[in-house]
Structure 1
Amino acid sequence: MKNILRTGIRFVILITALSSCKPNLDLVNPQELSTDTYYKTADQLEGAIIPAYQALIGRVQGGYARSFYYELLAPGDDYNHTFKWEPMYQDTYNTPASDGMAASSWKDMWNGVFSANLAIDRISNFTGSIDATRKNRMLGEAYFLRGLFYMHLEELYGETVPLIVKPVTSDKDYYPTNAQKGQVYAQIISDFQKASDLLPVRSQLYTTAAYIGRATKGAAQAYLAKAYLYRPILELGQPANFTGAEAALKSVIDSKEYDLVPYFKDNFSDKTENNAESIFEIQMHNGPGWLGDDMSDSWRWQEIGMFDGTGGAWWNLAPNKKTYDEFEPGDPRKYMTLWCDNGAKYTQVDGTVTDYNYWMSKLATNKNLYGTRKYCPDVQLADFDDGINDRLIRYADVYLMYAECLNEKGDVTGAKTYINKVRARANNVVPTEQPQLWYQHSPGTIPDVDALLAQDITINGIRLNTIKNIIAHERYVEFAGEYVRYFDLLRWGMADAKWLDPLKSIGWTTRAMYYPFPQSELDNNKNLKGNAMNN
């Protein structure tokens, strides 16, 4: 039937062309919108940016709504896959090029690049009436998002991913070659620098409710600093640019636009989204449906949150004993990060209030693993998904990255100051917590940096007798489950191989630093060569 229909259409077109007195027959449907006919007003230009934001969540379940938390967490030494997902390749360092999860993340990140490129092109070349401030802000958002997508692509697949900086205009554009060493990293830095120049500060942008959660000057500066520190893995073998990172981070701090929220837990609740500590977060929304009906929801709580056997949770990826042990005695963050012994209780959808003993009685195996409480509601949802925003970069990260930069140049006193800000907040009484938790009415007891140095303790084989080791420890416990641990170890390991030991002990090799290019992409594009994992 379809072949008959196509033949009929071709016949009609042929007859029309032969009987027409005009050559070059225009077959464009004026009623049909396209990228060439739509972006004619300033309001329509606003729509050019939205698909790029959506790609971060994921159009093919390859973004932060689903696949990304596996791709970013599983390779680290802090999370293990559970018996519920066999085989799962992401934490075995043997991911095949045919793996569907890695392929879906590849697709969504390139969806984001293409969307950002289109937005940059249409906004830059717009000749209609538009306020210059508005145009700069939209262009800044597009540059920021393109830089972020390329940063993710390099983190996951290495620096030879293609470099595409303009919209697709011909068939040739669909078959790019590999980027040369350093090209993509230079583009990431350029995009974040342009975004930081063009974007307004948070307090100015957020006066318009519709713009809350969008990229700001502070977000661009924070990610610029992160890219400078991540340089050893984004431009393999090159040293981190601590001087550039320090300057960018100081700009964020000096802006007075951000602050640590009083309660650590407020960084992971749907009641406290886009707060003073949030520099950039994924804007999630849980609609009425699931399994494809929602386009902006997260499956994180269902898949890596509560233990198996409790309210139908899937529990595919879980914090391990090493993560549990990394927390110092008296650190309340352990119980706000993990579902564990002596911690919070969980209410199932049927009203049953459960605790650690209940979870262990229902758990078949992997009793040495834990649940992820971050981004997981204390009361089970009737739906599979939820709408809790994923905070990608927080002000606490700015403080600890800044401390790292200060320590590298020998300013130990300054480094201690910013580490202590994060540690002091961790000790705060949390009146909004469950009443049986001790830190609801008593402060935490972790010491400041000088007292910690005096203790000279060893945690998970790392002696906390240097500022660098304390920064590594603090980043582990502050950001557990927030996608930084694996990449911290990689970037430090490029300068000092001892930081790779935790990964090597669980099977990591330099060959497995990145995921392979998807085989389907290599089959379709003969101009493209894979990375070491494809060989």
Structure 2
Amino acid sequence: MKKITIYISIAALVLLTGCDKGYLDTKNLYEKDLDNFYSRPQDIDEALAGVYNAIITPSNNPFSNEHIVANLLSDMMLGGGGPDDTGAKNTDEFKDPNEDTYRGMWIATYNGVARANAIIEKAADADFSLYFNSDQEATDYKNQALGEAYFMRAFFYFRAVKFFGGMPLILSVTDPKDLPRSTISETYAQIASDLKTAIDMMPAVDQRSIPTERYGHANKWIAEAYLAKAYLYYTGYMTNIEGQATSTLPLADGGSLSSGDVTTYLNDCIARSGYSLTPDFRNLWAYSYVNQAAGEDVLPWAADNNLAWVGQDGPSSTYGTGNNETMFAVRYALGDWANNTQQYSNMVCLYFAIRDNSMTPFGQGWGWGPVNPKLWNQWDDADPRKEGSILPMGDANQGTDSYDVSKAGDEHTGFVNKKYISIQHDGPDGVKGMFYYLYNMQNGDPMQLWNANDFMLMRFADVLLMHSEITETADGLNAVRARAGYTTPIPYSLDAIKEERLHEFAFEGLRWFDLVRWGDVDTAFTGSIPVNNSGIDGTYQTTYRPETKGLLPIPETEIRLLNGVYSQNPGW
């Protein structure tokens, strides 16, 4: 597995002081700065590593993690946790009694944007010809690097606008940091323009031929997929939440992209990218590795299906059979207590794992995000994604028969997500996390640090379903359904797309944003759910406040720092 590592080595320019004016004019020949750092491919590679690293928020605060927050906001997960886990319940109930709950995401946005801006400005004029065998190789390298920087700037703004609405558009290293917030439309126009630039710049290389050391980097096809996602979210949000019906995505220069334009990009991605669906949906998830490699019959329900984890990298994977479906992912590694880098492990797995119960192959965690039982109840038993996505407690066939409900915590429903959960098996050192054994982990308490699962941001199934939704045709829809065993084609309908996305992407952080853009967020949160609260039976009432328009509050610290340049989002 190729993990993204921080190599940033830009040092601050040291200004020598003294009585002699000559000291003030002395040039520092040894330190890196914005003028000389971006002159070599090695510099660009290190700077890009810093851009990608900014995806992981600079905080162990779980509310800085977009996937924890998006899942808690959705109708498919409750708050859960223990009696003291009020933050999870507040997010789930659309409350925020604190000032800066989500500030980590805001900070991460501008960390990433600033690093991308530096590459865009400084690499554009760099001459890399001395480092390659031909001018064409040097040009291809520069275009790929610049394309990645434009893509990542769009990525950070896209992630932010979905949570916070219109964002201050800082597009240069010299732009003032006290710019007012742009409108939602202006923000999306910049996102679309950056994605279009990235698509135009990055070479068309079949992902199956990308070398191992480039796994994890953005490419032309990922940018095309994200442009479709931005199109669907913007047109849906403006039409169904803002009441300003539109079928085009604006560009920063005043132009726009139509559904036909976006379809052309998706067709290109489908035809030339080399991405494809993994034959068995369950092989995408880490639990299938344990069934394959641990030498134990730990998943009886899957024993006859020859599950084999495809791993976290492309066609050839050190750990797995090769993954052609995952297009873009948060590349987690192993956290470390000594360096306060817990966030480099996958906190989603820790926080959403089973509370205070350790069972092979499922490890324990904090019990956030109990699964809404209505999802289990309405899901066809014949669909392998049902048991491939949801883990019922107290089920011997699932390996959870030893579950102790008295330790369940609050809002316990009897169901836990299975995609992002702590996975463990019995090995030479006893029952440890699967990544403890895969990576010979020796850096601290494994329960909290052993989850190195990548979190998938874009996979090829999403491309197929977006294509069907935009074109109102059924080919992509039926391809995804066929992978789940539904071989009889169905006609296109938006209702069919909604059901398929619910079942295909459960707990992947997409459901909340689908509800918002479809305008279904007003009706999804209805009815009460029977739960167990730390041993006491009770009920849970789903909650949404439409006055917020599906947005989170702007961190109050940011508002104060700019003396009112920002206004707070409605409803907060």
- TM category, shorter: 0.7 to 0.9
Match of 2:533 in 1: none
The 2-side partners of 1:140 and 1:63 are apart by 31
Partner of 2:553: 516
2:47/2:119 contact within 8 Å kept = yes
Find the aligned partners of 2:62 and 2:263 in 1 and give their Cα distance. 30
Alignment correspondent of 1:443: none
Partner of 1:301: 349
Distance in 1 of aligned mates of 2:476 and 2:229: 17
Inter-partner Cα distance in structure 1 for 2:72 and 2:181: 27
* CA RMSD after TM alignment: 2.9
Distance of aligned partners of 1:529 and 1:344 in 2 relative to their CA distance in 1, 3 Å threshold: farther
More deviation in 261-270 or 49-58?
261-270
Does residue 422 of structure 1 match 2:480?
yes
Deviation (angstroms), 1:301: 1.5
Aligned to 2:563: 526
Please state whether the residue corresponding to 2:374 is helix, strand or coil: helix
**Inter-partner Cα distance in structure 1 for 2:117 and 2:558:** 20
Query: Which AA in structure 2 matches 1:179?
Result: S
Contact 1:93 1:512 in 2 (8 A): no
User: Which residue of 201, 207, 211 maps to 1:198?
Assistant: 201
- The CA distance in 2 between the partners of 1:344 and 1:137, in whole Å, is 50
Tell me, yes or no, if structure 1 residue 162 matches structure 2 residue 168: yes
**Does the alignment pair 1:124 with 2:176?**
no
Q: Offset of 1:339 from its aligned partner?
A: 1.5
Change (3 A) 1:333 1:243: same
Aligned partner of 2:214 in structure 1 is 211
1:478 counterpart residue number: 504
Partner of 1:67: 65
Gaps in structure 2 of 5+ consecutive residues: 1-15, 132-137, 249-258, 290-308, 314-322, 425-431, 434-445, 527-541
Cα pair distance change 1:251/1:146, threshold 3 Å: same
Within-5 A mapping of 1:45-64: 45-61=44-60
Q: How many angstroms apart in 2 are the aligned matches of 1:150 and 1:99?
A: 19
Q: In structure 1, how many angstroms separate the alpha carbons of the residues matched to 2:50 and 2:480?
A: 35
Of 385, 397, 419, the match for 2:462: 397
Aligned mates of 2:349, 2:385 — CA distance in 1: 18
1:284 equivalent to 2:314? Answer: no
Indicate how the Cα distance of structure 1 residues 499 and 173 shifts in structure 2: closer, same or farther if over 3 A, else same.
closer
* Structure-2 separation of matches of 1:114 and 1:187: 15
In 2, Cα distance between equivalents of 1:334 and 1:356:
19
Amino acid aligned to 1:247: T
Q: Give distance in 2, aligned partners of 1:116 and 1:55.
A: 10
1:322 aligned residue: 374
Asked whether the equivalents of residues 338 and 370 of structure 1 are also in contact (C-alpha less than 8 Å), the reply is yes
Superposed displacement of residue 178, structure 1: 1.6
For the residues of structure 2 that align with 1:87 and 1:149, how far apart are their CA atoms? 24
1:128 shift after superposition? 5.1
Cα separation, 2, equivalents of 1:287 and 1:518: 27
**1:273 aligned residue:** 312
| Contact 2:119–2:149, Cα closer than 8 Å, also in 1 | yes
Within the alignment, does 1:251 sit opposite 2:251 as a pair?
A: no
TM-score by length of 2: 0.74
Alpha-carbon separation, structure 1, partners of 2:548 and 2:381: 37
Shift of 1:205: 8.0
**Aligned equivalents of 1:391, 1:343: Cα separation in 2:** 28
Q: Does 1:90 align with 2:138?
A: no
Amino acid at match of 2:271: D
Name which of structure 1's ranges 42-51 and 502-511 shifts more when overlaid on structure 2: 502-511
* CA–CA distance in structure 2, aligned partners of residues 424 and 343 of structure 1: 28
Pairwise CA distance, 1:405: 1.8
Separation (CA, whole Å) in 2 of partners of 1:290 and 1:423: 46
Q: Secondary structure at the match of 1:57?
A: coil
Bigger shift: residues 312-321 or 253-262: 312-321
Cα offset for 1:95? Answer: 2.5
The residue type equivalent to 2:95 in the other structure is: N
In 2 relative to 1, CA 304–403 (structure 1 residues): closer, same or farther, beyond 3 Å?
A: same
Distance in 2 (CA, whole Å) between partners of 1:364 and 1:44 is 49
Question: Counterpart of 1:393 in 2: which secondary structure?
Answer: strand
- Shift in CA distance, 95/473, structure 1 to aligned 2, threshold 3 Å: same
Inter-CA distance 80–447: structure 2 relative to 1 (3 Å threshold) = farther
Partner in structure 2 of residue 500 of structure 1: 522
Does residue 1:373 correspond to 2:418, yes or no? yes
Instruction: State the Cα deviation string for residues 408-445 of structure 1 (Å, max 9, x = none).
Output: xxxxxx41x32221122123xxxxxxxxxxxxxxxxxx
Q: Deviations over 1:134-186 (max 9, x none)?
A: 00000010011111101011001002x1011111x3xx712121214522111
1:81 is aligned, of 79, 82, 87, to 79
The answer to whether the Cα contact below 8 Å between 2:100 and 2:555 also exists between their aligned partners in 1 is yes
- Report the equivalent of 2:109: 109
| Residue matched to 2:495 | 469
Return the alpha-carbon distance in structure 1 between the equivalents of residues 206 and 62 of structure 2. 28
Amino acid at match of 1:42: P
Q: Which runs of 5+ in 1 are unaligned?
A: 1-11, 347-353, 408-413, 428-445, 454-465
- Residue 337 of structure 1 deviates from its aligned partner by 0.9
Residue in 1 that maps onto 2:39: 40
Q: Secondary structure at the match of 1:74?
A: helix
Note closer, same or farther for the CA distance 1:449–1:306 as it changes in structure 2 (3 Å cut). Answer: farther
CA distance 1:132–1:97, shift in 2 (3 Å): farther
Shift of 1:291: 7.2
8 Å contact 1:60–1:108 — kept in the other structure? no
Structure 1 equivalent of residue 448 of structure 2: 384
Q: Is the 8 A contact 1:74 1:90 kept in 2?
A: yes
SS in 2 for 1:179: coil
Change (3 A) 1:499 1:177: closer
Match of 2:160 among 133, 140, 153: 153
Distance of aligned partners of 1:78 and 1:329 in 2 relative to their CA distance in 1, 3 Å threshold = same
Q: 1:3 maps to which residue?
A: none
SS at match of 1:138: helix
Mapped partners of 1:234, 1:400: distance in 2: 18
Find the partner of 2:140 among 133, 157, 161.
Answer: 133
Q: TM-score scaled to structure 1, two decimals?
A: 0.79
Amino acid at match of 1:95: D
Query: Aligned equivalents of 1:520 and 1:163: distance in 2?
Result: 19
Shift of 1:485: 0.9
8 Å contact from structure 1 (residues 230, 240) kept in 2: no
Matched letter for residue 340 of structure 1: P
Question: Would you say the 8 A contact 1:515–1:533 is kept in 2?
Answer: no
**Residues 422/82 of structure 1: CA separation in 2 closer, same or farther (3 Å cut):** same
Rounded to whole Å, the distance in 1 between the matches of 2:570 and 2:414 is 29
Deviations 1:86-134 (Å, cap 9, x if unpaired)? 243222222256133x011111121111111111111113245360000
Determine if contact 1:285/1:296 at 8 Å carries over to the other structure: yes
